[in-house]
Structure 1
Amino acid sequence: MDLGSSYVDEVDNSMEFELVEDSSEESVENEDAMSSSFYVGLELPDPEDTTQDIFTCSGCYTKMDRVMMLVTNAGVCDHHFCMSCIDQFRERAGSEKFNCPSCGQAVISVCENRYAIELASVLQQNQITPVQLEELERQNQNLQQELAQQRREMEYLDQRRKEEKEKLRRSLNSEREQNNQLSQQMENILASHSEYKTRSESLIHELEQKIAATKQSAEIQLQNLDKERENLLRMQQDQKQQSSGAISALQEKIQAMEKKIKVNNVLQKNLERMCQKTISELHEREGEVKNVRARMKKESVQRTKSQPDSIIDSLSRSVTGLIWTNETEQNKIDLVKSISLYDIREIRGNRKDGRVRKAVTHTGGSMVALKRVNFDVSVLPDQSVLGTLGSFWRSKSEQDIQTERLRRLEAQTEAFREAMLLFKLNSDYLLPLNGVVKTNEPGMFYLELPFIEFDLDYAMEYRGGSLTRETICNIIYQLLLGVYYMHSGNIVHRHLSPATILTNDIQRIYIGGTSFAISIESPPPFPAVPCQHVDCIAPELLYMSSEQQPSSAWKPIDMWAVGTILGFLLRQQPLFRASQTSEVLTSILSVSDCTLDEENELVSKFYPLKKAFSTLKQGSYPQKSLRDKFPSDSSSSAIDLCSKLLRFHPSERLTAEEALRHPFFNSISANKVPAACTVGFECKDEDVPAFAEQYCPSVFC
C-alpha cells in the first residue's frame, strides 16, 4: 500500500470550503488568507512517534480508533482529538468552525490521518525496516514537493481571483456612481414636476376665474339680447299687422307671375325640342354641308368671310336668336334672389374655403347648394363705364378708356360664364341653375344649384367595398353622355375628376365643378385650370401649361379624365397615385399602354418629359402594363376601354361618341347615341354680357 498517495487522497476528499457572503472587505480578506494558507505547515506525522502518542486523544486522553487531524489557517495542528471531543467542540461553538482548545488556533476543517493509522499499525506489528522508513521518508518528501507545487498554484489562482474581485469592485463602484447620478436626476425631475404642477394649478385657477367671469358676462349679454329680442318681436308683430294687407296683395302678384313663368317654361321647352329635332336632321346632312362649305370657299374668299362658316352655324345662331327673342318678347326673367331667403349652413365638398355651402330655403324648407362666385367690383354700375363723364374718365385717353372697358368686360364674362352655361345647357347629367343669389357684400354672389349629398370620391370611401361591373358601367355611361352633350356643343369641362362627379346613391350621377368649363369657340387664351386632382390630369398638361394648349386639344383632355375615373372605379384607388405633377408624369410613362417613345421629338423639346424618362432609367418606377394595375377579376372590355381613353397622344384617344359605342356598354346601350345628347346652340364668351343683362340685371343694383 502506498501510504503517501492514500494520505493525499484523503486530505483532498475531506477538505470542505464554505464561502460565506459578507459585504465587508475584512471577511473577503479572511477567506483569501484561509484559502492561501491551507497547506502552509501541513506535515506528515513523524514515524518515530510512539503508538501511544498517535492513538491518545489530546482532549480526553483516551485511546482513539480514528486519528482526526485539525486543519487551521496556519496549517495542520499538532494536536489530535477523537470524534467525540470534536463533536463537543462544534456543539459549544455552535458551528462547524471552532478553536483548538490546546493551541487556540481557528479550525476550518477536520480530516482523518490514515497515514498515521497505517504507521501505527506497522509499528505495533514490528514489521517496519529501515529501508521501508527511508521509502516512507522519500514518499513524504515527494508529497511535500507536490504540496508546495499545489500551494504555488493556489497562490496564482488566489491572485487571479483577487484581480477579478478588484475589477468587480471597481465595476460596482462605477454602478454606484451611475445610480447616484440617476438618483440626482430623478430628484431634479421630481422637483421640476412639482414646480410644473404648482404652476399648472395656478394657471388652471386663473382660467377658472376667467371662465367664471366670461360666463357671468355672457349671461348678462344673453339677458340683454333676450330683452332686445322681445322688443324686436313686439315691433315685428306691429309691423306685421300694418303690412298684412300689402302682403296679401303681393302674394296675388307673385301667383300671377308664377303662372306666367310656367307658361314661359313650357314655351321654352317646346322650342328646345324643336331645336333638337332640327339639329338632329342637320347632322344627317353634315356631309352635304361640308361639300357646300368647300365649294363656297373656292368661289369667293371675300364672300366666305362675310357669310357664316356653315349652314349649321347659321341655323344654330338663328335658333338661339329665336329662343332669346321669344323670351325677350315675354316678361323678362330675373334669376336673381335675395340671400335673406336662405339659411346658410355647413361647408360642402373638399374645398375648405367655403366656396360651396349647404343651405335651406325659408319658404318650403328645401335643401339647396350655394356656390360662391367672386367678381371684380369695378363692374358695378357706380364704377362702370357709365361713369365716363366723371373726373376719372376725363383724365384718361381714348385708348385707356377702351382698355378699361375691355378689362371690365372680361371680368364680367369670367364671373357669369358658369351661370350662363348651367342655365342654357339642358341635360339630365348636368346640374341645372336654379337662380343667382345676391349678397350684401360687393363683388360676390351665389349660384343656387340642386343639393347633391356626395361626390364620387367620398361616396366610394363612405360606401366601402368594390362596385359591381353593372354599377361601374352605368356610372361611366352616364358620365360619357354628359361629356358628349357638352362636346357636341363645343363646350369642354376641363376639370373632370371623382371630386366633380356628384351622386346621392352611386346609381345616378351629375357632372359638377363647371367653374372652368368654356366654349372652345371663345377667343383664346383660355383661363388656366388648377392643379387639383393631379392623378386625373392629362400628360400634355404635365409638360405644357394649360395656356399653351390649343382649343382643339381640350376635348381629348376631358376624355383622358374619363379614363382615369374608370380606372379609379375599377381599382378603388387612383390609377396614377402621386403628390406632384412630375411624379404623375413618370407614373404614366411607366405604363406600357400609356407611354411615349423616348426618341420622340417631344422628349427633347420639353424638359419635364426628359426628366421623367431619366427617373424611369433609375428603376424607381418598374415598367408595367395597364392590365397589371387592375384586379385579376376586372372586365377585359373595361380595361380595353380604359386603355383606348388613356393614349399618350391626344389624337389617338376615343371621342365621347366613340366611347359610347364601345362593347363595354353593350348591356345598356344599343350602340346609338341618344338624340337628347346633342346641344343645339353654342355658348360663347361673347354671349355672357347679354345673358347677365337679361337674366341677372339686379346683381349690379
Structure 2
Amino acid sequence: MAEIRKYRKLEGISHYPIISNGRTYNPNSHKFLSGSKRTTVFLDDPNGNTNFPYQIQKRKRSEKTPEPNSKLNLEIASNKSINDPFSCPHSRKIDEFEKLSKIGEGTFGMVYKARDKFTGEIVALKMLKPNIINQKKNPTWRREIDILTSCRNPSIVELKEVIFTPNGCDRSIYLVMDFIEKDLHGVMQKRWTPFLESDVKFFMRQLLSGVKYLHDHNILHRDLKPSNILVQDNNTLKICDFGCSRVIGSGPYTQPVVSLWYRAPELLCGSRNYTTAIDMWSLGCIMAELLSKEVLFRGNTEIDQLKKIKEMFRKPAGCNELRKMFPVAGFTGRPTLSRSGFEFLSGLLSCEPRKRLTADAALKHPWFDEALYNHVAPGVFSP
C-alpha cells in the first residue's frame, strides 16, 4: 500500500504526527487494521464533529513525504482555541503498552522498555517529568517533539508516536521511539580496550552525518555525549535525547547547556551567543574518548573544566599535550592516531569557535580518504 501521511497541528507544534507502523487506524471502529507498511495516522473526531480543532493536510497516495525545510517552522498554530493538548481526544492510551523495565533516567524524563500490546513490538517509552510538562514559557517538551517529528535521518532516532495521558493533575506525556538497547557510553564501559582508529572513523562519519543534518536545518543539539548516542546491533549509531535542543534564532539562548565534560570553552566562559561549533567540540571530546577509553576533560566544576582545557592547549606547547595522548607510533602504550587523524581531532577541539571544523568541512576531511571507513570488524562492540 502506498504511503499516506496526514498531519495535525497543535499550539506550538507544527507537523505533529501520530505514527503506527504496520497498521491503519479506523476511526469508526477504533481499531488498527493490518496491511499498511507504514502509516502516519491523523486522529479524526470519532463523533464526526466538523469543529474538531485539528488542522488536516491530506496528500495523494502518489505524493512522497516532503523533506524538512531548510529552516524548521516552529511558529504557533493559528488556531488559538487549542490551549491544552490534554483536552483533545486521542485514540491510543498508555495502557496499550506494557512496561517491561526501566532503562534510564535523565534531566527531562524516564525511559522504559515496553511492549505494544497490539503488535507485540518492543519500543522505548520516554515519560517526561512533571516539571517539564508544566513549563509555562517555551516548554521544552513541545520543542523536543517538534524537532523530532521534523527530522528524518538514518543517524537520528525516530519518534514513532506521542501519547498524552490526562489524569487530572497528574498529566503525562510519553514519546514512543524505537527500542535500541545499547548506548555508546555503556559499550565503552564494557570494553577492555579502546576502539581502533578505523572503527572510530566509521563511527565519526555516522555522527557527523547526523549532526550535519541538524545544523543544515538550523538545529543545535546542545547535549552530545556517549550516553545520548544509541548503538544498534548492526554497528550503526543514532543520536537521541533532544530535550536540550534549540532552533537557531528562536530566541535568547540559555545557560548552562551541554554536559560538563563535553562543554565547549565558550560555554564555560558564559557565552550566550554560541553557534553550531558547540556541538562540534562535543564530537571532538567523544572522538578522543573512543580512541582512549578515557574522558578527555574530566572536570568537577566549570572552573576546573576550563582549567583542564587550558592545560591541554597551553601556549606555546599548542597541541603537544594532545599529541602525547595519541602518538603516531605504537611504542608508547598509548592509542595511536595518524597525522591526518590528529589534524582532524585538533580541528574539532579548536578553542576558537570560528576556527573549529564545521560538520560539512569535517565530512570532507582527508582523514576519511585514508582508509575504508564503511566497514567495522564483526564483534567490534564486544568487550
Q: Which TM-score applies when normalising by structure 2?
A: 0.70
Q: Are 2:267 and 1:541 aligned?
A: yes
User: Which residue is 1:414 aligned to?
Assistant: 140
User: Which residue is 1:637 aligned to?
Assistant: 340
Verify the 8 A CA contact 1:491 1:517 in the aligned structure 2.
Answer: yes
Larger Rg: 1
User: Which residue is 1:508 aligned to?
Assistant: 236
Q: Are 2:340 and 1:625 aligned?
A: no
Measure the CA separation in 1 of the matches of 2:38 and 2:362. 42
Measure the CA separation in 2 of the matches of 1:259 and 1:632. 46
Change (3 A) 1:644 1:376: closer
Measure the CA separation in 2 of the matches of 1:557 and 1:654. 11
Name the structure with the higher helix share.
Answer: 1
Tell me the amino acid that sits aligned with residue 627 of structure 1: R
Paired residues in the alignment total: 310
User: Which residue is 1:357 aligned to?
Assistant: 112
Verify the 8 A CA contact 2:194 2:335 in the aligned structure 1.
Answer: no
Verify the 8 A CA contact 2:159 2:176 in the aligned structure 1.
Answer: yes
Verify the 8 A CA contact 2:155 2:239 in the aligned structure 1.
Answer: yes
Q: Are 2:191 and 1:463 aligned?
A: yes
Deviations 1:563-617 (A, max 9, x none): 001100111111112332222211111123xx478xxxxxxxxxxxxxxxxxxxx
Tell me the amino acid that sits aligned with residue 486 of structure 1: L
Shift of 1:272: 1.8
Change (3 A) 1:640 1:571: same
Deviations 1:292-338 (A, max 9, x none): xxxxxxxxxxxxxxxxxxxxx7xx87xx99xxxxxxxxxxxx98731
User: Which residue is 1:483 aligned to?
Assistant: 211
SS of residue in 1 equivalent to 2:238 = strand
Deviations 1:622-678 (A, max 9, x none): x952111222532222221111111111111011000001111114589xxxxxxxx
Change (3 A) 1:353 1:515: closer
Shift of 1:439: 2.7
Matches within 5 A, 1:286-435: 337-349=92-104, 351=106, 355-374=110-129, 408=136, 410-411=137-138, 413-435=139-161
Measure the CA separation in 2 of the matches of 1:423 and 1:583. 38
User: Which residue is 2:175 aligned to?
Assistant: 447
Q: Are 2:66 and 1:272 aligned?
A: yes
Matches within 5 A, 1:153-232: none
Verify the 8 A CA contact 1:516 1:529 in the aligned structure 2.
Answer: no
Shift of 1:489: 0.9
User: Which residue is 1:584 aligned to?
Assistant: 305
Measure the CA separation in 1 of the matches of 2:133 and 2:343. 52
Shift of 1:487: 0.3
Measure the CA separation in 2 of the matches of 1:459 and 1:576. 20
Aligned to 2:357, which of 615, 636, 654? 654
Tell me the amino acid that sits aligned with residue 199 of structure 2: T
User: Which residue is 1:125 aligned to?
Assistant: none
Measure the CA separation in 1 of the matches of 2:220 and 2:62. 24
Measure the CA separation in 2 of the matches of 1:260 and 1:471. 33
User: Which residue is 1:689 aligned to?
Assistant: none
Change (3 A) 1:498 1:470: same
User: Which residue is 1:521 aligned to?
Assistant: 249
Measure the CA separation in 1 of the matches of 2:133 and 2:368. 50
Aligned to 1:250, which of 5, 29, 42? 29
Measure the CA separation in 2 of the matches of 1:494 and 1:639. 24
Shift of 1:491: 0.6
User: Which residue is 2:290 aligned to?
Assistant: 569
Deviations 1:87-107 (A, max 9, x none): xxxxxxxxxxxxxxxxxxxxx
Measure the CA separation in 2 of the matches of 1:343 and 1:633. 47
Amino-acid identity (%): 28
SS of residue in 2 equivalent to 1:473 = helix
Shift of 1:421: 0.7
Verify the 8 A CA contact 1:474 1:507 in the aligned structure 2.
Answer: no
Tell me the amino acid that sits aligned with residue 286 of structure 2: I
Verify the 8 A CA contact 1:471 1:507 in the aligned structure 2.
Answer: no
SS of residue in 1 equivalent to 2:203 = helix
SS of residue in 1 equivalent to 2:223 = coil
Shift of 1:463: 3.4
User: Which residue is 1:499 aligned to?
Assistant: 227
Verify the 8 A CA contact 1:516 1:527 in the aligned structure 2.
Answer: no
User: Which residue is 2:16 aligned to?
Assistant: none
Tell me the amino acid that sits aligned with residue 564 of structure 1: C
Measure the CA separation in 2 of the matches of 1:348 and 1:266. 40
Measure the CA separation in 2 of the matches of 1:266 and 1:463. 50
Structure 2 gap segments, 5+ residues each? 1-25, 42-57, 76-88, 327-333, 375-383
Tell me the amino acid that sits aligned with residue 158 of structure 2: P
Tell me the amino acid that sits aligned with residue 572 of structure 1: K
Shift of 1:360: 1.4
Tell me the amino acid that sits aligned with residue 549 of structure 1: R
Verify the 8 A CA contact 2:133 2:173 in the aligned structure 1.
Answer: no
Q: Which TM-score applies when normalising by structure 1?
A: 0.40
Measure the CA separation in 1 of the matches of 2:278 and 2:132. 33
SS of residue in 1 equivalent to 2:98 = strand
Shift of 1:520: 0.6
Verify the 8 A CA contact 1:492 1:518 in the aligned structure 2.
Answer: yes
Measure the CA separation in 2 of the matches of 1:584 and 1:639. 22
User: Which residue is 1:674 aligned to?
Assistant: none
Change (3 A) 1:627 1:360: same
Shift of 1:376: 6.7
Instruction: Tell me the C-alpha RMSD between the 2 structures.
Output: 3.8
Verify the 8 A CA contact 1:337 1:435 in the aligned structure 2.
Answer: no
Measure the CA separation in 2 of the matches of 1:378 and 1:633. 46
Verify the 8 A CA contact 2:127 2:175 in the aligned structure 1.
Answer: yes
Verify the 8 A CA contact 2:202 2:373 in the aligned structure 1.
Answer: no
Aligned to 2:368, which of 645, 653, 665? 665
Measure the CA separation in 2 of the matches of 1:365 and 1:259. 16
Shift of 1:443: 3.5
Measure the CA separation in 2 of the matches of 1:354 and 1:489. 25
SS of residue in 2 equivalent to 1:475 = helix
Change (3 A) 1:378 1:502: closer
Tell me the amino acid that sits aligned with residue 355 of structure 1: M
Shift of 1:258: 6.0
Measure the CA separation in 2 of the matches of 1:363 and 1:262. 16
Measure the CA separation in 1 of the matches of 2:155 and 2:133. 35
Change (3 A) 1:531 1:489: closer
Change (3 A) 1:446 1:503: same
Shift of 1:507: 1.9
Shift of 1:269: 7.0
Shift of 1:535: 1.7
Verify the 8 A CA contact 2:102 2:110 in the aligned structure 1.
Answer: yes
